[in-house]
């Protein structure tokens, strides 16, 4: 998949915790999307959104969130991701920027789908991490 070189990336939709101490350390670059990993997380997200998480404000994605506030290391990582991943050209060159671009595309799609149904879509934050991390559903690896 290639992205438009001049597309603007929004790194605020991705939380970068790679290298942070989490629930363990196994290496690699798994992705927690709303508490799951990779494609499983996407499927879980779709099921939640389509079965009750449609704009009622009190269910759905609320229960899937990870840990709350950003620590100092998270803030530095967020700044580095924002500095590195700015355009579609970056997404075509770097794996982490490609993840940001895919997340942005998915968020834009769901925002449009919800709007078409007169419902409000609340952005889900995707978390990049190494090893393991704590989520609202337990430990993800």
Does pTM top 0.75 for this prediction?
A: no
Render pLDDT for 89-117 as a digit per residue (tens, 0 to 9): 999 999 999 999 999 999 999 999 999 99
125 or 33, higher pLDDT? 125
Render pLDDT for 3-28 as a digit per residue (tens, 0 to 9): 999 999 999 999 998 877 654 433 44
Render pLDDT for 30-86 as a digit per residue (tens, 0 to 9): 444 444 456 666 666 666 566 554 443 433 343 344 444 445 556 788 889 999 999
Domain boundaries, the chain: 11-140
Using CA atoms, how far residue 115 sits from 98, 110, 135, in Å, is 26, 8, 28
- Cα angle, residue 131 at apex, residues 138 and 35 outer, rounded to 5°: 30
pLDDT at residue 6 in the model: 95
Q: Is the dihedral of CA 27, 30, 34, 35 positive or negative?
A: negative
């Amino acid at each position: 998949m290639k992205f438009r070189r001049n597309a603007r990336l929004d790194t605020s939709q991705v939380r970068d915790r790679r290298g942070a101490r989490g629930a363990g350390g196994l290496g690699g670059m798994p992705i927690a999307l709303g508490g799951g990993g990779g494609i499983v997380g996407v499927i879980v997200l779709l099921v939640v959104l389509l079965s009750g998480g449609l704009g009622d404000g009190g269910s759905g994605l609320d229960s899937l969130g990870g840990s709350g506030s950003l620590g100092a290391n998270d803030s530095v990582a967020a700044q580095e991701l924002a500095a590195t991943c700015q355009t579609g050209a970056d997404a075509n060159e770097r794996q982490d920027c490609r993840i940001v671009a895919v997340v942005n595309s998915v968020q834009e799609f769901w925002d449009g789908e919800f709007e078409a149904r007169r419902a409000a879509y609340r952005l889900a934050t995707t978390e990049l991490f190494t090893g393991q991390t704590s989520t609202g559903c337990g430990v993800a690896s």
